Amino acid sequence: MRRQPAPDERKRDADRTRERILEAAIAEFGAHGFAGARVSAIAQRAGVNQQLISYYFDGKAGLYQALTDRWREVSAGLNTADRPLAEVVVSFLAQDAQTRNWARLLTWNGLTGADSDDSFFGAMVDDIKRRQAAGEISSEVDPGMVLLILFSATLAPVSLPQVVKGMTGLAADSPEFLRRYGETLKKIVEML
């Protein structure tokens, strides 16, 4: 006779299922953008029934919002006030495949004209201003422009891998390229 799982076992299983859906969703959104991503493909990647996405996230838009909330948590953890900006930039560059999927999704959003959350980006600009006031970087540079340059630099290996290969001879996701590029970015940021 099969026993009923205890409530805490059901919760752990639900948490694991939710996590699998989120991981599958960022891979699907990164590969196809929000508009091109299909709930059925996300369910298949996660190995779950499609209805579970509606149950846990209230559909595709809710799933996207859950991913956005997660990215903000990850981002906040990488960009702490006590870390030098050069380290922050390199830590964004060095993130795992899930973060590369976020970079792809951000690129898709730009190509398709999706709206951005100006308050999220505004908070990043405010962080650059704070760093300028603290003397970490020059106050002679526009904080929004500096942030745009650094953002673009960290996105380049994901959005322009063919350019990386053509200019460096290295694959954009290779450990050697990421190490060398990270070292170079760190030196550039330290010169600001």
Q: How far apart are CA 33 and CA 133, in angstroms?
A: 37
pLDDT band at 53 (very low <50, low <70, confident <90, very high): very high
The count of other CB atoms within 10 Å of the CB of residue 131 is 19
Q: Specify whether the CB–CB gap between 154 and 92 falls below 8 A.
A: yes
Average pLDDT, the chain: 85
pLDDT tens figures, 24-39: 998 898 888 888 999 9
pLDDT in tens, 110-131: 787 777 667 778 888 999 999 9
All structural domains of the chain, each given as residue ranges with its CATH number in brackets, are: 1-72 (1.10.357.10), 79-192 (1.10.357.10)
C-alpha of 128 from chain center: 19
pLDDT digits (tens, 9 = 90+) for 139-156: 999 999 999 999 889 888
| Mean pLDDT for the stretch of residues 99-110 | 79
Is the model more confident about 41 or about 2? 41
Confidence of residue 138 (pLDDT cuts 50, 70, 90): very high
Distance of alpha carbon 137 from alpha carbon 43, whole angstroms:
45
Q: What is the pLDDT of residues 77-96, one digit of tens each?
A: 888 888 899 988 888 887 65
